[in-house]
Amino acid sequence: MPASIPHQRPGFDGHWAAAPAVPASPPGLSLAALAFDTAPVALAVTALDGECVRVNQALCELLGYPAERLLGATYSGLTHPDDLRQDEEAVAALSERGHGPSIEKRFRHADGHLIWVRVTATLIRDPDGVAIGAVAAVEDIAELRHRHAELSRLALHDPLTGVRNRALLDDDIDRALRARDRDGGVVAVLYLDVDDFKQINDEHGHEAGDLALIVLSTRLRDALREEDTVARLGGDEFVLMAHLPTAEHAAELRDRVEGVCAEPVVLAEKTVSVRVSVGMAVVDSFGCASGPALAAEDAAMYDLKRGRRKGVGSRTA
């Protein structure tokens, strides 16, 4: 910048232009107060006891209350009860360090629904350094949390069919085995493989093969209870798991699964017969882990496939 041109700055077109004068504040309102009131970020000034003494328009819009309803209100009165403990810890940190940690919490909107927000606060001190209140910035993070939840779901579920993937399967089986050790019953683990799936892809195309897997996964979920597990390991392989009262209930589940899978699938106006091989392991002993259970039903399924080629076969390990 040329030294002979004071108080100038480059404009958007790259040429030097005189800097605009600072706009005058409305009578009786400082520039700082005007900036607070019109800031795009939701802001609140509170007394040391948490009572709101000043709020801006962005906060009113976020919470759905007029300013006069928020003035005199407290954070605890707006906060979901389950988040009050976190608030207390943040206030303690604020008092000790002069600035609190950013916390994620829930405020209750004027219409009753909950709003996920991130709150960051800093102490306000008088000229002598004595704390007289706090200013808090409140950020709406509902969309951010939704994106994070969706990413977490995608990391733990099969993107094609929406059922669980291997990352969740081991945890589900271990949890069911612990429940069996505690409450009794049996844990049935079924390994399902679509016979001649390559032929479906070759004759009808990969889109048709994907549709067959989607239809199959929907039927499997409908055949099980809500608390049971359907997982896709990849390709045409699925694992089902259920904690049941007896081995007879497990056999009934296997028969029901084989029945729904045997129903024809309509692909591109063509009816396709889909046959599956189902191997099942029934765990009724104490202290079993997910690894041996998966290995047993995997072996049972491949025994069944080999048996079909020979005209015989076992369906249960």
**In the numeric block, which tokens belong to residue 314?**
């076992």
- 277 near 301, Cβ under 8 Å? yes
The H or E element that residue 278 is part of is strand 276-283
The H or E element that residue 150 is part of is helix 142-156
Instruction: Give catalytic residues, as residue numbers.
Output: 236
How many helices (H) does the chain have, and how many strands (E)? 11, 13
- 190 near 239, Cβ under 8 Å? yes
Q: How far apart are CA 235 and CA 195, in angstroms?
A: 12
**How far apart, in Å, are the Cα atoms of 32 and each of 161, 220, 246, 275?**
54, 62, 72, 73
- 138 near 59, Cβ under 8 Å? yes
